[in-house]
Structure 1
Amino acid sequence: MNNRLPISLCMIVRDEALFLEQCLASVSSVVSEMIIVDTGSTDRSVDIARAYGATVVHMEWQSDFAAARNESLRHAAQPWVLIMDADEQWVEGQQSRLFSLLEASDGVYGFEVEIKSLLGRSGEDSVTDSACRIFRNDARIRFKGRIHEEAATSILALGASTLRASGLQLLNYGYLDHIVKRKNKSERNFQLIKEALMQEPDNRILLYALGTEYFQLGDYDAAVRILEPLLDELPTEAGYASDVFLKTIFALREKGELHQAVEKVEEGVSRYPGFADLQELKAVLLMDLGRDDEALGVLTNISRSREYTSVSGAGTYRSSYLTGVVYERKGEGKHACEAYEKAVEANPDYVPAWQRWIPLAVCSGELAQVERWIGKRGLTEKAQQVVLQQMLDMQQSVWVLKQKCWLQEAFSKMPWAEAILLAQLGERRVAARLLEPWHTHQDMAAEIGIYLQALCSDAAGRGQLRSGDPDRSVAMEDARWMGKQAEAFIRLGAWAGFGAWLPEVKEPSAVLVQLSPSARIGLLLAPLSVRRQLYSWLQEQKEVDREMRERTAASEQAYLNRTSEHEPDTARLEVDSSDRAVPTVQLFMRLALRASFKEKEAGLDLPSYEQETARILKYKPASSIEAAQYGWNALELFMKQNPQRTEDRFQAAAQLMLL
């Protein structure tokens, strides 16, 4: 039985062999014919299209997407048309809904389809937009626009109610990092947009497209120059106006022009009250300004409408995650854990929430909450890997053994995890034997090599014979691997090797700053000799002391008064550089290590915990903005708790490592 619908699939392609087959396969049982306009492919695109029974039309590329689209429409024979790109897929299970829409389509000429574009390395994030992709095969409906072509305008010209939402969805793979890099669309887009602007210099859609290209390339100065003037020109109901606001405000923030960004975001939220992405950006700007309570108010009252192009999680799990970050900055670990739990309830695969929840739960005594969650819901494969790695970082081998039944997929995907667990339990020789076969694995050789080197160094540090091939060691000069090397020692509990390795590192404090929060917590379980060694090194960071003392109240004014794009780069760097966080991290790590010493371990040669606290608090930035950003406010709250018991002191030390 043929269940295909009276639809012509119309596409334009050029060298799309990478995706074309999966695109056509996804929709071949839905449409009655396929029309593909090829504009000059040199790969297998034409052969793939013909293998699926498509009619292939050859057309010379005219630097005009609308012209190519309209050529495909000219060959369509079915009463309805479906428009797709080669890097898109029809979502399975929608055929009956589409049939119902077409059956009850009196007076309707077109349907909007949701396009979910996957982002990042493997689609961990996404943006959902809507576009008219299904419409009647009517000569009055044609595409317009040399680039970012659209047919909705010609459909709406036929009547106000001629275009409807469909609830159907397409998946787009073309914005994954490796695909964007491979296709190099920006160069092509710039050329097309600039050619079109020569003919229509005041075309707002083209200006928006040009600003968007600059934005995506990270050229925020150029993006603001083009997009900001459009804010006052575009009517609120323009479909892309909300995105102009979002991109302009984000670019202003990246430039450090916070005052202007806040002014614009207030206007944008007023005009688009259901735009969750814009509300989240407002909360982030308030956090930038140290106004955490106001940011929390925004995040807990977000309203969300599906009418806007939105990043995945906006108004749901991403907002819960940001709420957790604010609570952490306020020193409220219990509330932060609750917010992260809410985030993973909405999206069990949301890695950032797991990365903050697990270490915070360990060091704030809320681990039972995580265990209850796992017992009720289990863990996805992605979550298992994050949880397992962090628990190993924090030397939680007993917990891992207890919860191992919930971590089976992670152990199978991370075969070296079993070896790390055994190493933590003291079985280092067995761990090395388990790791050996993976040292020649194409994808794992470098990482396994680091673990084996750490085990060899540890054996040598404890006076045992080295095992393994000395040629496998990773070059110490390779800064890219220094942090990984340190984390391998910590994860394995190879403290003898770690103590022997650190003196070979020119700037150990700089390496320590690169560690993940969970690995920093793992440092607190190092033997006393290693912790004292680290503490002494961090005490000797005179450059850190000097830099911290130079921070004055003037830095806050410099931060707030930057409203001109012509301000000297030196002033911009003075307040923008992420390096400003590095001295703070070193000071907090120093205090955390001091908190980890029992008083009898500290001896007479070290300042007391209270003395160290008072000394470090002297370096609190005069700027309230920096104090909030870098965790000083939370630090003061911890200090007021003044933990006395050893277990309380360790919890406080671990929380300091997270700041």
Structure 2
Amino acid sequence: MVKPRKLISLCMIVKDEELHLPRCLTSVQGIVDEIIVVDTGSTDQTVAIAERYGARVVLAEWEHDFAKARNTGLALAQGDWILFLDADEELDTHTGKQLLAEACQPVQGLFLQIWNVTGANDDERGGTVHPVLRMFRNDDLVRFEGSIHEQIAASLLRRWPRAVFQLTDTKIIHYGYRQDIVTQKNKLQRNMELLERAVQKEPDNSFHQYNIGVEYLRAGMPSKALEAFRSARQQQGFEQLSYAHLVVKYEVRSLLSLSQWAEAADIARLGAAQFSDYPDLHHYHALALAQCGQLHAAVSSAAAALGIGAAPPQYHTEDGIGTYRTSYMLGRLKEVQLDTQGVVQAYIAALRFHPTLTPPLYRLCRYLRIAGEEARIASILAAQLACRSEEAVIKVAAIMSASGCLQAAKAWVSWHAVQLGSEAAEVLARWTKQAEHGAVKAEDEQQEEPGERYADLCERADRHLERLQLVLSPDTGMRQNVVPFVSPPAETFPVKALAMIRLLLPCEEGWRIRG
């Protein structure tokens, strides 16, 4: 009897991955035809778990060489295609099965979208996104290269000089950059040691310099990171590298971490000119300009990022840049300019991009309250947000109430009580009674966030905003009808006011909350 043809072989290397491996192997069921796991010394239940999923397990000694370990699995694979994953990754439920159709295309390699989850939980919001070559045709002459951050593209191109690569929508969710996992696995130290060896062997290798720069930045060593990124940028042929845009962005981020605002703005400006369709550089240019007090220029750069939208697929990006994160940053800038209409537009845009976000709604409510325009909140949100259930209405109302806008919350609830019908009206009426007695809390206040809670951040930022107005506005506090504030040139900007602007943009651009 002829054995059935194997289409896709999953090849993995693992060590002590009992916590993560089940999720990974579950995600490929019905997609791959065989699983080959190279175990490099597990002392937990990793091997037993792999065998339970039908994997062929190979025990191999760890030789501090990722390419060698991966090639051990490749030599045993029988599928037409090789898919490689790490144990702390999983194929996306909605797009994973598309690989079966993609494998029928006349191409040699497939790029999948990697979503790096960076938060404390498994929420993808705020992570990084980039395309990576993760599936390729199986051939005896195609093997991985590189002891760390191993690559396959060069080998594919030697085998097929006219190789065709296709970008897919299939998403891989990667949890390995979550701080708890990084700490648990001691990944930073392991990667650093391997990369330092690689740099010693090949000091002029841009890829090694870039990768060790990323590790330095993640380890909180921005000076060393900056040195590595600049070394990568000085190598011959840098502009042609597929990751050149990333080197420039991380150089800017290193400078921002070092509070070298003006130099960060300059590098970001040059990078944004070179990679004009890359929203991340426009976003970070806006951030650097804001830190320099150049608010109008910062607003223009943020608008440029929003004009591009989410990054084109050839770029490594961060979730929300060009969409909700940039809109949120623009709202913070508009707050500093005392531009009420701009504040409303920016925060509403952020909510449209990502309707479940609460920080833009908090900021919008708090700002309008301070501006003396609480009475407008309900009508603004009713015109811009569609809430079709009493649960959604109450969630928004609770945030209004937590922002000190109880009357606006009651008006919002009353309007929806009429729109949603009698059954919903009873639920909303009960909420209003509880709110009047101070017995309701916003969802964000009921569940403790890692680090500071959004409500605390907003309250502190409000105090800075009020102090900023005393420095820059001829009146004492905001007027009822706020006239957009025109910032003076950077060289005449009061030092005290500039310090407050920085406080208004905490944690990089006011989005990331850190303990």
The normalised TM-score by structure 1 is 0.63
Inter-partner Cα distance in structure 2 for 1:145 and 1:9: 20
Q: What's 1:273 paired with?
A: 276
Partner AA of 1:228 in structure 2? R
Map 1:175-186; keep pairs closer than 5 Å: 175-186=177-188
SS at match of 2:33: strand
Inter-partner Cα distance in structure 2 for 1:263 and 1:423: 53
Question: Could you give the per-residue CA deviations for residues 605-655 of structure 1, whole angstroms, max 9, x where no partner exists?
Answer: xxxxxxxxxxxxxxxx964465356269x9xxxxxxxxxxxxxxxxxxxxx
Q: What's 1:116 paired with?
A: 115
Partner AA of 2:65 in structure 1? D
Inter-partner Cα distance in structure 1 for 2:220 and 2:190: 17
Change in Cα spacing, 1:235 to 1:37, as seen in structure 2 (3 Å) is same
Q: Offset at 1:196?
A: 2.3
Q: 1:425 aligns with which of 430, 436, 441?
A: 436
Question: Could you give the per-residue CA deviations for residues 16-36 of structure 1, whole angstroms, max 9, x where no partner exists?
Answer: 111110110110211111000
Inter-partner Cα distance in structure 2 for 1:332 and 1:586: 12
SS at match of 2:19: helix
Q: Is the 8 A contact 2:293 2:493 kept in 1?
A: no
Partner AA of 2:321 in structure 1? A
SS at match of 1:114: strand
How many residue pairs match? The answer is 461
Change in Cα spacing, 1:425 to 1:356, as seen in structure 2 (3 Å) is closer
Change in Cα spacing, 1:104 to 1:330, as seen in structure 2 (3 Å) is same
1:630 aligns with 2:503: no
Alignment root-mean-square deviation, CA: 3.9
Q: What's 2:324 paired with?
A: 317
Inter-partner Cα distance in structure 1 for 2:336 and 2:447: 39
Inter-partner Cα distance in structure 2 for 1:405 and 1:146: 63
Map 1:76-225; keep pairs closer than 5 Å: 76-94=77-95, 97-105=98-106, 108-122=107-121, 123=123, 124-157=125-158, 158-225=160-227
5+ residue gaps, structure 2: 418-428, 479-490, 505-515
Higher share of residues assigned helix: 1
SS at match of 1:300: helix
Map 1:600-619; keep pairs closer than 5 Å: none
Q: Is the 8 A contact 1:5 1:30 kept in 2?
A: no
Change in Cα spacing, 1:18 to 1:92, as seen in structure 2 (3 Å) is same
1:245 aligns with 2:220: no
User: How much identity, in percent, do the aligned residues show?
Assistant: 27
1:349 aligns with 2:350: no
Q: 2:382 aligns with which of 371, 377, 399?
A: 371
Partner AA of 2:272 in structure 1? V
5+ residue gaps, structure 1: 408-417, 436-442, 448-479, 488-513, 524-580, 597-620, 635-659
Partner AA of 1:333 in structure 2? T
Inter-partner Cα distance in structure 2 for 1:218 and 1:38: 31
Inter-partner Cα distance in structure 1 for 2:397 and 2:437: 22
Q: What's 1:307 paired with?
A: 314
Inter-partner Cα distance in structure 2 for 1:33 and 1:347: 38
Change in Cα spacing, 1:249 to 1:326, as seen in structure 2 (3 Å) is same
Q: What's 2:485 paired with?
A: none
Inter-partner Cα distance in structure 1 for 2:447 and 2:497: 42
Q: Is the 8 A contact 1:388 1:400 kept in 2?
A: no
Q: What's 1:334 paired with?
A: 341
Inter-partner Cα distance in structure 2 for 1:376 and 1:58: 55
Q: Offset at 1:204?
A: 1.9
Change in Cα spacing, 1:109 to 1:286, as seen in structure 2 (3 Å) is same
SS at match of 2:12: strand
Inter-partner Cα distance in structure 2 for 1:48 and 1:402: 52
Change in Cα spacing, 1:193 to 1:169, as seen in structure 2 (3 Å) is same
Q: What's 2:288 paired with?
A: 285
Q: What's 1:403 paired with?
A: 413
Partner AA of 1:209 in structure 2? N
The normalised TM-score by structure 2 is 0.79
Change in Cα spacing, 1:626 to 1:444, as seen in structure 2 (3 Å) is closer
Inter-partner Cα distance in structure 2 for 1:595 and 1:201: 57
Larger Rg: 1
SS at match of 2:44: coil
Change in Cα spacing, 1:25 to 1:165, as seen in structure 2 (3 Å) is same
Inter-partner Cα distance in structure 1 for 2:56 and 2:238: 42
Q: 1:391 aligns with which of 394, 401, 423?
A: 401
Inter-partner Cα distance in structure 2 for 1:313 and 1:4: 42
Inter-partner Cα distance in structure 1 for 2:368 and 2:144: 54
Inter-partner Cα distance in structure 2 for 1:519 and 1:220: 28
Map 1:584-603; keep pairs closer than 5 Å: 584=467
Inter-partner Cα distance in structure 2 for 1:180 and 1:196: 21
